[in-house]
């Protein structure tokens, strides 16, 4: 396959993706969703976040504390606690990533 083919494919995918995303914004006045669909759509951000975090959380890792505890588990638990208490995405990300980086640093010092 040639470079023009790849560029055409890439531009075509960009147009389709943009059209799908823009359709919800452009057609929101004409589109009436039933109440149960609106209720279901409120859970989309949480589902997407879980789909992103879960594979990274449970994949193999070389960083561990004392060779037993994976550093991602305590960081995730602390982030979950902060999320439940504060309801703030930024606070959750800040505490979770800060804890992960700190524990990873300590795990690297221990080895």
Q: pLDDT value at position 2?
A: 80
pLDDT of residue 64: 57
**Nearest 10 degrees: Cα torsion 57, 63, 64, 65:** -120
- Average pLDDT of span 84-92: 91
Residue 64, by phi and psi: left (phi above 0), alpha (psi -120 to 50) or beta? beta
pLDDT tens digit sequence for 25-76: 888 788 888 899 889 988 988 888 888 888 888 777 665 555 556 888 899 9
The per-residue pLDDT for 63 is: 58
Mean pLDDT score, 3-22? 94
Residue 94 has pLDDT above 90, yes or no: yes
Indicate the pTM of the whole model. Answer: 0.58
Asked if 55 and 88 count as a contact pair (C-beta separation under 8 A), the reply is no
Burial of 91 (0-12, 13-18, 19+ CB in 10 A): middle
Domain boundaries, the chain: 1-32, 43-110
Mean pLDDT of the residues in the chain:
86
How many residues make up the chain in this entry? 111
- pLDDT for the residue numbered 49: 81
């Amino acid at each position: 396959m040639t470079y023009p083919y790849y560029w055409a494919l890439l531009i075509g995918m960009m147009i389709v993706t943009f059209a799908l995303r823009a359709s919800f914004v452009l057609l929101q006045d004409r589109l009436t969703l039933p109440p149960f669909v609106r209720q279901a759509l409120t859970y989309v951000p949480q589902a997407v976040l879980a789909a992103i975090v879960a594979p990274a959380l449970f994949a193999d890792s070389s960083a561990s504390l004392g060779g037993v505890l994976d550093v991602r588990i305590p960081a995730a638990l602390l982030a979950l606690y902060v999320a439940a208490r504060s309801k703030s995405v930024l606070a959750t990300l800040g505490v979770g990533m800060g804890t992960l980086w700190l524990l990873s640093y300590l795990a690297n010092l221990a080895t």
